[in-house]
Structure 1
């Protein structure tokens, strides 16, 4: 079986050094001061990386290698794995931004997921098949390689075709906020369709928030033919409305050439977005998730923005699925932080 690697992007935005670095580059005259692109929730970590790592070790033991891409930080996932999964032999490697931005160091530091994603394929030793996880994505049931790639090696993508002109109309009708229109996840996909041109100007694949199976050679060939697009997309330190989503570019291109498999979200992918104003809705979604035995993948969008009871309920559910008491771990981590502050 051809190896499958996992790539996870992560940052601890509460780290004082990272905070100071971020503040230094805000308002640098490149149109990057929009509140939403530098909102604290984009960088705040409340333990999601450990949910993600634990879920892979628990439910995808066939994985060849796990890479965590970060900015001069280390979540010490190897220690976590040794404590809770001593039988696992999956290597975990921390990859610094400087490694994937080699020869482009002038573009660093960056605080922009789209810029970082543009460079992920440059991880040294990365296998041809790799699955991309944001740190807010985790597995909630056993998976096999066939959940990500079919027998022919084609990626299996959760998503659907979206009409390009409809997306353009929605973007045009969107009311300005703070003097400009918000740049959304879908907008980055629309930009990818514009880059591809041709049939993509009529339709593109609307990706679901889930793990994304990718192919390293595609990005190597694409950026080899279009080096100017690599630099243009990776140069923004904070999200910019001109950027395209690299994964969307890959998926829409393959779908237009019948080289990937599209599947509906169905019951397989769970999406939770806890917010204080959505107490009832999120509670209902969580109850559905608890009894959903068909689910394999879950995305928890901005857990830090949830009300305390929402966070507790979701973390408890994750702990039950993964067999780890994450609530006790959070309390343990808090006691350690308080002791360090008193010292």
Structure 2
């Protein structure tokens, strides 16, 4: 990981805030099963996108920032006129017949269609931050080949799943089965929580290669049992197609820092302390609050984030302050 890459590269974010006026009501009109109402995937009570953008100071190769969200949502603190930033809404890249969508798999399957996005870009979920420089050196080899990051945990097959298991687990099994059919049986391991390097043309080719699965995914307003997660499908396919190689265990440890934000404050603090001692390149703060976030944990996390990332990014409104 000692080589350097100076070519500017864009960063793409997906983001949603379920407190935005009208969003909860629209979600309720379309929701069916209980999983459709899971607030862990739509809550924005920590302003994590703000701190993720602040952390981009650790990415010297940064080109343009793209934010993809549903119309008319925009973070209240975001300066949408800031140089180097473009806000895209779903209707700019998606067929109107599938909107509104609350399915993150569907949304991610359209990232390569963003107008003006660079040929290669880094995809961040809004709960991911950079802790130090070196991301692009970790995501590419010296010859420019991409590096894909997987955990040691295998994906469960359909035979090992129950009907009551989540759409997420079923979608992983669907993707693993599709990959095996396309490229031959192989171990299918979970993808790490962390930023992912995407080649726009290669991503489009993978979406086309698995067109039936992607069509079913895009047709689901919420995560469905017949879906596939593009963020899992793409890196596995890129390795199978020779476009990327799988990272070593040591490389995975260098990149991934995962924190599950729980309602038990000592446990959350201990997780963050452990990740900070390890000092990986990135950290992902997964919302595991459940239906009722503990206000003590929320307040502590906000203080921690502000202390760790105190400098406003160029994309924040001058009159905005953290609530």
TM interval, shorter chain, is: 0.7 to 0.9
Cα offset, 1:204, TM superposition: 1.4
Identify which of 299, 306, 310 aligns with 1:319.
306
Matched, 1:192 2:185: no
**TM-score, L = length of structure 1:** 0.79
**TM-score, L = length of structure 2:** 0.83
Cα offset, 1:109, TM superposition: 0.6
Matched, 1:283 2:269: yes
Cα offset, 1:196, TM superposition: 2.1
Cα offset, 1:161, TM superposition: 5.6
User: Hey, what's the Cα distance between the residues in 1 that align with 2:220 and 2:207?
Assistant: 17
Q: Deviations over 1:150-189 (max 9, x none)?
A: 222222233146555x5445424xxx6xxx33223x5433
Tell me the secondary structure at the aligned position of residue 253 of structure 2.
coil
Higher relative contact order (CA 8 A, sep 6+): 2
Higher helix share: 1
Q: Deviations over 1:186-223 (max 9, x none)?
A: 54333212222345544213111111111111222233
User: Hey, what's the Cα distance between the residues in 2 that align with 1:290 and 1:225?
Assistant: 40
Identify which of 82, 92, 97 aligns with 1:99.
92
Matched, 1:218 2:211: no
Identify which of 290, 295, 314 aligns with 1:308.
295
Q: Deviations over 1:57-95 (max 9, x none)?
A: x2113211111000011125653996xxxxxx6x11101
Q: Deviations over 1:28-58 (max 9, x none)?
A: xxxxx221232123211121110111111x2
Tell me the secondary structure at the aligned position of residue 258 of structure 2.
strand
Q: Specify whether residues 140 and 225 from structure 1 end up closer, same or farther in structure 2 by C-alpha distance, changes over 3 A only.
A: closer
Whether the aligned pair in 2 keeps the contact of 1:196 and 1:253 (CA below 8 Å) is yes
User: Hey, what's the Cα distance between the residues in 2 that align with 1:98 and 1:297?
Assistant: 31
Matched, 1:49 2:49: yes
User: Hey, what's the Cα distance between the residues in 2 that align with 1:105 and 1:133?
Assistant: 25
Whether the aligned pair in 2 keeps the contact of 1:38 and 1:238 (CA below 8 Å) is no
| 2:222 counterpart residue number | 238
Cα offset, 1:128, TM superposition: 1.8
Q: What are structure 1's unaligned runs of at least 5 residues?
A: 27-32, 83-88, 335-343
User: Hey, what's the Cα distance between the residues in 2 that align with 1:201 and 1:77?
Assistant: 47
| 1:298 counterpart residue number | 283
| 1:40 counterpart residue number | 39
Matched, 1:262 2:247: yes
| 2:103 counterpart residue number | 112
Whether the aligned pair in 2 keeps the contact of 1:274 and 1:311 (CA below 8 Å) is no
Q: Deviations over 1:222-269 (max 9, x none)?
A: 334554443222111011111111121111122234422414332532
User: Hey, what's the Cα distance between the residues in 1 that align with 2:118 and 2:138?
Assistant: 17
Whether the aligned pair in 1 keeps the contact of 2:213 and 2:227 (CA below 8 Å) is no
- Which deviates the most, 65-74 or 153-162? 153-162
User: Hey, what's the Cα distance between the residues in 2 that align with 1:97 and 1:204?
Assistant: 30
Cα RMSD (Å) of the superposition? 2.8
Tell me the secondary structure at the aligned position of residue 16 of structure 1.
coil
| 2:134 counterpart residue number | 143
User: Hey, what's the Cα distance between the residues in 1 that align with 2:189 and 2:241?
Assistant: 12
Q: What are structure 2's unaligned runs of at least 5 residues?
A: 1-5, 313-317
- Which deviates the most, 193-202 or 144-153? 193-202
| 1:29 counterpart residue number | none
Q: Which has the larger radius of gyration?
A: 1
